[in-house]
């Protein structure tokens, strides 16, 4: 087709003319948009770009620092809570042990052989300072049937006593249990103090008393110091 014929066709065909014009318009707009984008990118100040990057990095660093600080604070709080919990358990254990030791200390009133209203064994001296030891039967029965079981079982002292203290206490109980069984049927109403004529028994009871007395003092002093250190 000759140019003359094409021109004649465009002039005589309105649709073809409209399509050609639209194509030309789209091409023009794309060219203009590309030129504007290139101009915008090329026109950004490098200083501004660096500032944006620095700001972004700063914000990211702040976020990371907050995360790290939060994790550290959480870990520190957990460790602190665990230490406090363990310290509370330790203090509670010490209090229970001290209470148990002090309850057994109260039983020494029955074991002493001096001037004590609760003493199981008391003595009298003559003018030559010779001693005669007597069994206080009412005190012995109260110790065997009430005082020692209450302290050891009802008041839970037996749960928290050191083995050495517990063993020494029961050695003493075993030593006086023979006396209890021997005089079990004696009426307290008419009973007078019973003279004890076996020096070996007196020495044995005295040894138990001194051993238990010294051991209780040492154990209590140690736990008093531990309690002060724990607070």
Per-residue pLDDT averaged across 60-71, rounded? 83
Predicted confidence band of residue 47 (pLDDT cuts 50, 70, 90)? low
Residue in 181, 161, 169 with CA at minimum distance from that of residue 208: 169
Tell me the per-residue pLDDT of 97-147, one tens digit each, with 9 for 90 and over: 999 999 999 999 999 987 788 999 988 888 888 888 889 999 999 999 999
CB 108 within 8 A of CB 216: yes
Tell me the per-residue pLDDT of 161-197, one tens digit each, with 9 for 90 and over: 999 999 999 999 999 999 999 888 887 655 667 888 7
Amino acid 193: pLDDT: 77
Query: Which tokens is 37 given?
Result: 């984008």
| pTM score, whole prediction | 0.66
117-151 core/surface letters (b: 16 or more CB in 10 A; e: else): ebbbbbeeeeeeeeeebbbbbebbbebbeebbeeb
Is residue 19 pLDDT above 60, yes or no?
A: no
Query: Counting every residue, how long is the chain?
Result: 231
Per-residue pLDDT averaged across 63-90, rounded? 82
Query: Which tokens is 101 given?
Result: 């030791």
What single DSSP character describes residue 194? E
The three-class DSSP label of residue 178 is helix
CA-angle at 10, arms to 9 and 14, nearest 5°: 110
Name which of 28-37, 71-80, 96-105, 139-148 the model is least confident about. 28-37
Amino acid 78: pLDDT: 81
- The DSSP code sequence of 27-79 is HHHHHHHHHHHHHHHHTS-HHHHHHHHHHHHHHHHHHHHHHHHHHHHHHHHHH
What single DSSP character describes residue 193? P
Is residue 88 pLDDT above 50, yes or no?
A: yes
Query: Which tokens is 67 given?
Result: 């995360």
User: What CA–CA distances, in Å, run from 160 to 54, 93, 100, 153, 172?
Assistant: 66, 8, 6, 11, 19
């Amino acid at each position: 087709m000759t140019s003359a014929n094409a021109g004649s066709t465009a002039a005589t065909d309105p649709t073809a003319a409209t399509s050609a014009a639209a194509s030309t318009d789209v091409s023009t707009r794309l060219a203009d948009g590309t030129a504007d984008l290139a101009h915008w990118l090329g026109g950004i100040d490098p200083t501004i770009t660096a500032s944006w990057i620095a700001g972004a990095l700063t914000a990211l660093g702040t976020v990371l620092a907050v995360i790290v600080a939060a994790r550290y604070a959480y870990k520190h709080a957990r460790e602190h809570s665990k230490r406090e919990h363990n310290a509370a358990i330790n203090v509670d254990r010490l209090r229970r042990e001290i209470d148990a030791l002090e309850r057994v200390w109260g039983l020494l009133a029955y074991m002493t052989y001096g001037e004590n209203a609760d003493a199981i064994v008391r003595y009298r001296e003559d003018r030559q300072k010779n001693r005669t030891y007597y069994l206080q039967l009412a005190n012995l029965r109260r110790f065997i049937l009430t005082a020692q079981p209450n302290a050891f079982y009802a008041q839970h002292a037996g749960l928290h006593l050191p083995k050495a203290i517990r063993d020494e206490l029961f050695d003493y109980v075993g030593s006086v249990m023979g006396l209890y069984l021997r005089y079990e049927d004696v009426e307290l109403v008419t009973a007078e103090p019973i003279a004890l004529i076996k020096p070996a028994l007196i020495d044995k009871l005295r040894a138990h008393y001194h051993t238990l007395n010294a051991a209780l003092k040492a154990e209590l002093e140690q736990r008093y110091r531990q309690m002060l250190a724990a607070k």
